[in-house]
Structure 1
């Protein structure tokens, strides 16, 4: 069965008429229409379509960006479609995963997405390394300064306060005091 998915953004005042006509001309038997942003994952009609897929079905969209605005999300959706034993077809971009050429095209798109993710990872790593060289350390700031940490350890170690009492006194969680005691 050929299942069509048409989507327009709510805020743009668009309608799905052109998409619906193109999908009907392409032989779509069942149509799912959505008025939601392509950047959102909570799209009920898309989820209904994915839930109803059977082996041998083909999901048809007018353009790739109607399925998702993000390349990574697009690949996840196509992976779900293929995981159900179904195919995918985009009319405008002439991509059809039911053919060898279409599967190759999607693999190339996937390779570009993987390359993009790796480039982001490398830039993030380089930024963190530069920040460390400049003396900046990531993560949350410590709740207690060095003097307070020494004081907590001394109070609990000497028996003047319990760990829970010291935590209440300094306004921290008892696990913070526990970590301090382990490292001292």
Structure 2
């Protein structure tokens, strides 16, 4: 039986691409286990359920090698445990695609690819830290951008003070959801935390 596993990453928060790839590889939709935790997260119930479901002779299909392990050692440990149980690991794309961890050559290549993936992630983290430090040195702070500009927050606050304003229509006009709008202003037009931060109050 083919069983699939998919997990989101920081850069890719949708599982659609992975689901499509797994189904194209012959995994039935009801045999795809999923997690929405980051790679470093300890708790991954989807992976745990997936590993419990696998039997000798089954094939575990993953989109990319880095979807499987929390880190380098966990990835290697998981892949080698699968091979010992007689489960075939199939990687669809990227480094590790086509390798067979049940063979000595496959295990060697798995370790090499995993080490390269870990090195690449560390380089990316280092670049991110350096970029944030450079931005802070120039007076900018990192983090998620606000959904509304200062002008939009002022407009929203003024509009919400009017009883004739429909919150859903206002949110649609501003290009956000009603919930997002309420993070910036209250139903009475009072500034909330996000709104005050945008206006630097």
TM-score normalised per structure 2: 0.49
> Is 1:32 matched with 2:33?
yes
Distance (whole Å) between structure 1 residues aligned to residue 34 and residue 113 of structure 2: 29
* Higher Cα Rg, which structure: 1
| Map of 1:136 onto structure 2 | none
Aligned residue pairs, count: 111
Q: Secondary structure at the match of 2:14?
A: coil
> Is 1:105 matched with 2:110?
no
> Is 1:75 matched with 2:84?
no
| Map of 2:87 onto structure 1 | 86
User: In the TM superposition, what is the alpha-carbon distance from 1:113 to its structure 2 partner?
Assistant: 7.1
Q: Secondary structure at the match of 1:92?
A: coil
Output aligned runs, 1:1-184, within 5 Å: 1-9=1-9, 14-29=13-28, 30-93=31-94, 94-97=97-100, 104-110=105-111
Deviations 1:53-77 (A, max 9, x none): 1000011110111112522111011
TM-score normalised per structure 1: 0.53
| Map of 2:136 onto structure 1 | none
Which runs of 5 or more residues in structure 1 are unaligned? 115-184
Deviations 1:7-59 (A, max 9, x none): 004x6571100000000000113100110011123200100011111000011
Deviations 1:118-153 (A, max 9, x none): xxxxxxxxxxxxxxxxxxxxxxxxxxxxxxxxxxxx
Root-mean-square deviation (CA, aligned residues, Å) is: 2.6
Deviating more after overlay: 20-29 vs 105-114: 105-114
Tell me, yes or no, if the aligned pair for 1:50 and 1:80 is still in contact at 8 Å.
no
Distance (whole Å) between structure 2 residues aligned to residue 2 and residue 98 of structure 1: 17
